């Protein structure tokens, strides 16, 4: 696995961990802009909104997350991803019951 792949695997893992922590604290479901801000706090400013959108799409394709897609109310050209939540498979990944080299979870 090359350096870029390792970086994105870890970032996907952090996203899964943040969504799980948010759920365990019984907070409202996340929106992608807020999730991006949280991720930047942890991994630095290298990550952008497009990175988060792409990683959420990857996680959804893999069956780990679900969300609603709407047009951004401020910029109608951009999509807004809202109500982000883990699927049951995503919970299993977050808790270490599933291993996926594309999503690095630190337990």
How many domains in the chain?
A: 1
Q: Does some domain include residue 41?
A: yes
DSSP code for 98: S
Q: Report the greatest alpha carbon distance in the chain.
A: 40
User: Residue 107 — very low, low, confident or very high, per pLDDT cuts 50/70/90?
Assistant: low
Q: Does some domain include residue 102?
A: no
Q: Does some domain include residue 101?
A: no
CA proximity to 55, closest of 28, 83, 32: 32
Q: Does some domain include residue 104?
A: no
CATH number of the domain within which 67 lies: 1.10.10.10
Q: Does some domain include residue 28?
A: yes
Say what the pLDDT of residue 59 is: 97
Q: Taking 80 as the threshold, does the pLDDT of residue 77 lie above it? A: no
| pLDDT tens figures, 25-76 | 888 888 888 899 998 998 888 888 889 999 999 999 999 999 999 887 777 6
Q: Taking 90 as the threshold, does the pLDDT of residue 98 lie above it? A: yes
- How far is Cα 20 from Cα 26, in angstroms, rounded to an integer? 10
Q: Does some domain include residue 50?
A: yes
Report the pLDDT averaged over residues 74-92.
87
Structure tokens at 41: 């706090």
Q: Which domain holds residue 16?
A: 3-94
């Amino acid at each position: 696995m090359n350096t870029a792949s390792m970086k994105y695997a870890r970032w996907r893992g952090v996203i899964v961990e943040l969504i799980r922590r948010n759920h365990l604290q019984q907070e409202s479901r996340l929106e992608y802009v807020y999730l991006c801000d949280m991720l930047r706090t942890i991994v630095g400013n290298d990550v952008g909104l497009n990175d988060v959108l792409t990683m959420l799409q990857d996680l959804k394709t893999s069956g780990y997350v679900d969300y609603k897609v709407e047009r951004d109310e401020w910029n109608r050209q951009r999509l807004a991803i809202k109500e982000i939540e883990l699927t049951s498979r995503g919970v299993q990944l977050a808790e270490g019951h599933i291993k996926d080299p594309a999503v690095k979870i630190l337990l």
